[in-house]
Structure 1
Amino acid sequence: MDLQDQLKNLFPDHVPSESPEKKEEPAFWLQEEPLICKYEKRKGKPITIIEGYNGATSDFKQLAKELKQLLSVGGSFKNEQIIIQGDYRDKIMSFLKEKGFKVKRVGG
């Protein structure tokens, strides 16, 4: 007896939907100028800063949230900059390129 049969026994009136609902990805405004991805050390700890986005602030905050979830690290959004804890420039740049952004690497 597989899981589908067990569910049918538990919920005989339920009709499963044909197509699973897909969660839409938020569409970000893509700009002509590249985003700046730079590396710094603050208080001896490495950080990665992304700046140069001139779209809506809410889009940039959503992008920061997605980056933090992707990398499983902490970070913040301050002064129109995304600050990610650690040196993740390569992963961040590949993620942003997949989203359709142009990215410029600065520092080191």
Structure 2
Amino acid sequence: MKDNNWKSRLNVVYSTNPDFAYETEHEEEQPTLPAAQQKLRVQLDRKNRGGKVVTLVTGFIGTDDDLKELGRLLKSKCGVGGSAKDREIIVQGDFKQKVVELLKKEGYTQTKPVG
């Protein structure tokens, strides 16, 4: 047996073919666009959040590390919690105008408030 690493075959049921190659799909990260080329949208959202309002920043194109770094900056400047994953930044609370101003200071010139 060529590759007997069971972790690489998680969620594969079974194959009787001894030559079967277990393949996993790896999505390549896109390189991060410069701040001036990012088209970010800032909106308020309260869907599936128990009535709580969050500020949602979408449209980021780049690596997960850069997304988390931008999310960390926005959360610390607003003084609240949140998360950054799946190409979205969630900032807890109604900080739409403040987030737009912070993004423009950081060089994100194509930022649009939505709604």
User: Which blocks of at least 5 consecutive residues in structure 1 are unaligned?
Assistant: 1-27
Q: Structure 2: which amino acid aligns with 1:105?
A: P
Local SS of the residue matching 1:50:
strand
2:30 aligned residue: none
1:64 shift after superposition = 0.4
Once residues 58 and 100 of structure 2 are traced to their aligned partners in structure 1, the CA distance between those partners, rounded to angstroms, is 12
Once residues 57 and 29 of structure 1 are traced to their aligned partners in structure 2, the CA distance between those partners, rounded to angstroms, is 15
Whether the aligned pair in 2 keeps the contact of 1:46 and 1:85 (CA below 8 Å) is yes
Number of corresponding residues: 80
Match of 1:37 among 42, 45, 53: 42
With the length of structure 2 as denominator, give the TM-score of the two structures.
Answer: 0.64
Q: What's the Cα RMSD here?
A: 1.5
**Structure number with higher strand proportion:** 1
Identity percentage of aligned residues: 36
2:111 aligned residue: 103
Which segments of structure 1 move beyond 4 Å, counting only runs of 4 or more? none
1:81 aligned residue: 88
User: Which blocks of at least 5 consecutive residues in structure 2 are unaligned?
Assistant: 1-32
With the length of structure 1 as denominator, give the TM-score of the two structures.
Answer: 0.68
Whether the aligned pair in 2 keeps the contact of 1:35 and 1:53 (CA below 8 Å) is yes
